[in-house]
Structure 1
């Protein structure tokens, strides 16, 4: 599997207010192309809600075919800015992510809108990100979506999906695009006093890097 400065979408970005709260998170995602060993990406991040509109995050990402053999892959500075705050029947935010490749010093910029709405117990997300890669010198389009249903307070289940379609203004032929989807789980594991612990996870089937494969994605976050 060829390495990339900015890898396929591994978790669905959602708009939320984290004002004044510090967060720590563990992310872990894997991809496995047919007939190949799985590639693992363990990640650690710290976040802070600067105000009711702006949350910033620093994330370190490792890559390898085993946890012991994983090496530092990228540094990521991620910002979400809320553009609406309850005045609309939906939430809208701007996602900005700067990626520094540790190995070759190249960079990527990911930018795009983040959208979310609730229909009764159903929560819907849809995002579109344009990604400029300084190594490839082109801009590619990435799509994310999710629909989850609240089964009991704090627990939602449903489906999510990710796509990479190629250059933003000249999509790749269908057979060279990557689309994958599968079951998703969102859970609040703890919410008492100042502390909140949440878990997002999913298992997806389809194509990764233009090849048939599978993906597991998990995000465990603590906020205070």
Structure 2
């Protein structure tokens, strides 16, 4: 697995926010390097033919605490069409190494993340995932499965009129509606296939998406699926510091997905 160490480090970078929907999300890698410190900035924008777009800017700091634990704390800013960039939320992400042997055919880590949006009515969200990575010749393959759960969501403003009618027939309807909102658990995925062109430049294709409720997937056109090319690069300084950069352009393949997502990211390693 030493052959893929450079690309794995680049692919980690911001590693995406814990929430699936951010335009700044990236494919996460399972690698953990003890003692490594990283400052990262990621920017992404979604656009559609209807003129709707959303942008996100994410800033974070990460560190390899031990050989099996890496942690990262980040803050995200967001902007919708016609609005200014504003604070969107804070997130804390941890990767716990399950298979870390460099000679093993597959690297595997457990992702545990938490996010608190700026809008308190949106409650909290947590993400639990399996991050995997393997190499085939000069190709590196990542495949991740993610489960995101929202809780403490304020559902008072959602469907008040309908709830009042339901309460006439069933006094517990409103409480059950609140429970449903708090208990939403969403299934998502990420993958990428990258080719090591040289020690400094890598390119390939990425994909990510969300199927909806984990035990009751949404209709095909209501799911979100994106796919597109990505480029990775690295500049190494004499003092041992490294500057990694990533650029990706993902295209939506369903009606519920933005037509395209452009992502840019810089990572400074110490």
For structure 1, the residue ranges without an aligned partner over 5 or more in a row are none
Quote the residue 1:77 is aligned against.
92
**CA contact 2:222–2:254 (8 Å) conserved in 1:** no
Instruction: Let me know the Cα RMSD of the aligned residues.
Output: 2.1
Q: Is the 8 A contact 2:210 2:225 kept in 1?
A: yes
User: Partner of 1:131 in structure 2?
Assistant: 148
1:1-224 to structure 2, matched below 5 A, reads 6-8=19-21, 10-65=25-80, 69-86=84-101, 87-104=103-120, 106-134=123-151, 135=153, 136-137=181-182, 138-190=184-236, 192-207=238-253, 210-224=256-270
Other structure's SS at 2:187 match: strand
Q: Is the 8 A contact 1:8 1:208 kept in 2?
A: no
User: Cα gap change, 1:52/1:165 in structure 2, threshold over 3 Å: closer, same or farther?
Assistant: same
Aligned residues: 220
Q: Distance in 2 between matches of 1:181 and 1:154?
A: 24
Deviation at 1:77, TM superposition (A): 0.2
Aligned position for 2:165: none
Deviations 1:40-72 (A, max 9, x none): 101110111101111100110000137981110
**Aligned with 2:99: secondary structure?**
coil
Equivalent-residue separation in structure 2 for 1:29 and 1:108 (angstroms):
21
> In the aligned structure 2, how far is the partner of 1:189 from the partner of 1:124?
23
Uncovered stretches (5+) of structure 2, i.e. residues with no partner: 1-17, 154-180
Partners of 2:79 and 2:21 lie apart in 1 by 16
Shift of the 103–208 alpha-carbon distance from structure 1 to 2, 3 Å rule, reads farther
Does the Cα contact within 8 Å between 1:93 and 1:113 map onto a contact in 2?
yes
Secondary structure, aligned partner of 2:197:
strand
Cα distance in 1 for residues equivalent to 2:68 and 2:208: 26
TM-score (norm 2): 0.76
Larger C-alpha radius of gyration, 1 or 2? 2
Flag the structure with higher helix content: 2
